[in-house]
Structure 1
Amino acid sequence: MMFIRNESFSTFVHRYPVVTTLAGLNIIIHLWVLFLPYGAELYRQGVGANFLISTGEYWRLLTPIFLHSTQSLFHLLFNTFSLVIFAPALEIMLGRFKFLAVYLLAGVVANIATFLLETPMYTHVGASGAIFGLFGVYLYMFLARKDLLDTQNSQLVLTILAISVVMTFVSPQINILGHLFGLAGGLILAPLFTRNAKPFYAVRHTSRKTYLDEDDISFKPNRWKNRARNQKVIRIVLIVIAVLIAIGIYTRLNM
């Protein structure tokens, strides 16, 4: 399974240095904001404040990805947990640079959408848009690159994604547009970033070596070639996402 974490801490750090760094930054910055000198100022300078972005503080389209609510520890724990569970496979499959790029770009897309569609006084923090971007990449793999995602992991990804989307609409104080546009951003970016991707179950990193996982040698890489069907499914999913985004926009404009 791609999402079962049974590595030791040192092995996890060695295999997934980008995920480790991102998770570590989430925790360190949060502790700094809460307990260390200038933490409150760090938070004020990094929060995604639409009015301040409109005055030229464009770094606020990036910095909210590394900040979390000071009112709820759950916000930090949920996003960091999601990152540690679901991101390592993508770091292996895409490569470190591409993984980091798609994570940050999806988060920025989510924050740009929030800036353009929310009210001028709206503020937000959190890595959720970037994490939904990773789910967007997985969704693209399910739809168009089945050579990268087996049936068991596909079902798990779709289940978690469905639950996450539902929770986006029913949970209080959620940046709905950030979640939806993060998902859409990852889905749109995925064809570029998965071009030379390798299946997680076939290729892993161990001390600079690559090896085949013998448990998965029965996998048939040609199962994904029904392009006509895939294209239809992709269009349907894009329509569903567009409807969800429209609902989110309508909800915000009528609040």
Structure 2
Amino acid sequence: MFIRHERSIKEFMQSYPIVSTLVIVHLGLWLVINLLQLPFGIWLYQLGSGSNYWVEQGEYWRLISPIFLHVDLMHALFNSFSLVLFGPALEQMLGRTKFILGYLFAGIFGNLGTYFVEDLYYNHVGASGAIFGLFGIYIFMVLFRKHLIDQISSQMVTTILIIGLVMTFFNPGINVSGHVFGFLGGFIIAPVILAGANSYNPWAAIARRNRYRDDDDIQFDPNRWNKKRLPRSFTKNIWWIILGVLVLLGLFSRLF
């Protein structure tokens, strides 16, 4: 589910517009706030950052806006990388509306948990609560909708989630409440948004794209629709992906 088959950024954006838009928002806001340091950007950061005190004063938009803001470039890049890795399969499986609904619900649920659990002067930003919500959806599939997720992906998600949770509790400066409640939010909304969902077929998008290529570019394989096994490179590459993700989690876990 997590190996990308798109041949260009344009193709990725056309296939997964919600994930692409979220990444653009992450990096665009970082550019405006941190790199350009525009007065409007600084004001926007102050207005949108998560603050339990200001939520207490009635600024309820701060339960949503922190999902799109990040402390620095590495924070924005790592959360964007996580979204690009784990978001596309769900966006294609659920559709745009259900995907963004699940993503935002998990992020808001994580921020609500932060508000109720942390002290009045606690401040936070970051999309990691919403991203942990994606894991909540995947774990719901692993436990209750096994037909929607393949075994390799199940093992990968479970392993990374366990490591992510361990790092959440053993690294300082992490919004533990945001991670835990974000995960719970994804798990809670999963049965609603997964209703009627079909399993993700990594080759479906390729098959659809092939229909629109010029005739000269099409090489007909009479057995291509009967192939059930994934190529050897799939199994080989999956372990490199897992290793890379684990390394990144270790390097940047403090940035959640």
* TM-score of the two chains, using structure 2 as the length reference: 0.79
- Contact 1:202/1:216 (CA < 8 Å) preserved in 2? no
CA contact (8 A) 1:62 1:107 kept: yes
Question: Residues of 2 paired with 1:100 and 1:214: CA distance?
Answer: 32
The 8 Å contact of residues 92 and 204 in structure 1, kept in 2 or not, is answered as no
Of 100-109 and 164-173, the range deviating more from structure 2: 164-173
Q: 1:216 to 1:189 in 2, by over 3 A?
A: farther
Give 2:32's aligned amino acid: W
Identity of aligned residues (%): 49
The total of aligned residue pairs comes to 213
Tell me what 1:69 maps to: 71
Aligned to 2:108: 108
Structure 1, unmatched stretches of 5+, are: 220-255
Counterpart of 2:125 in structure 1 is 125
1:164 is the counterpart of 2:168: no
2:249 corresponding residue in structure 1:
none
Q: Distance in 2 between matches of 1:200 and 1:28?
A: 30
Cross-structure match for 2:237: none
CA-CA distance at 1:10 after TM superposition: 1.1
The two structures, once aligned, show a CA RMSD in angstroms of: 2.0
Shift of 1:136: 0.2
Relative distance call for 1:131 and 1:216 in structure 2 (3 A) is: farther
User: Does residue 5 in structure 1 map to residue 4 in structure 2?
Assistant: yes
* SS state at 1:78 partner: helix
Residue deviations 1:139-160 (CA, integer Å, cap 9, x gap): 0000010110010111111111
| CA deviations over 1:14-54 (Å, ceiling 9, x no partner) | 10000000011000011111113411111000000000001
1:176 is displaced (CA, Å) by 0.1
Gaps of 5+ in 2: 212-223, 231-256
- Tell me, in whole angstroms, the C-alpha distance in 2 between the residues paired with 1:216 and 1:157: 26
- Give deviations 1:180-230, integer Å, cap 9, x for gaps: 0000110111011101111112784446x8xxx9487479xxxxxxxxxxx
- Give the Cα separation in 1 of the matches to 2:89 and 2:204: 9
CA deviations 1:87-108 (Å, max 9, x no partner) are 0000000111000000000000
C-alpha spacing 1:6/1:204, structure 2 compared with 1 (3 Å): closer
